[in-house]
Amino acid sequence: MGAYGDYKKRLVKELKKRIVAAGGDGVSVRGGRGTAWGWIDVWCSPGADGFTLAQRKAVESVVGGSAGGNCWVGKLEEVSRILGIPAPN
């Protein structure tokens, strides 16, 4: 997969861990594919119409910004900065 693929997986795993720890159980955190490769998105529970209040508060507390009705999307560089995990050289 390479250094950047492993790095993206690490960011996805850590972001989900922090959101769940903040009370956001049930969210889906995914790394983009294809033309969306450089993005990471956080979605409400599968099958739900939007974030619950607890999920929204958890996402917003971790990312430091506002979440949309059912998702939050950030570039790898932004997620890296938020989590304090530097990109590989």
Contact indicator for 75, 39 with CB cutoff of 8 Å: yes
Task: Check whether 1 has a pLDDT greater than 70.
Answer: no
3 CB burial (10 A radius; 0-12, 13-18, 19+): exposed
Tokens of 88: 């590989």
Q: What is the mean pLDDT of the chain?
A: 92
Query: For residue range 39-55, what is the model confidence (pLDDT) as tens digits?
Result: 999 999 888 999 999 99
**In the predicted structure, residue 27 carries a pLDDT above the cut 80:** yes
Domain ranges for the chain, please list them.
3-83
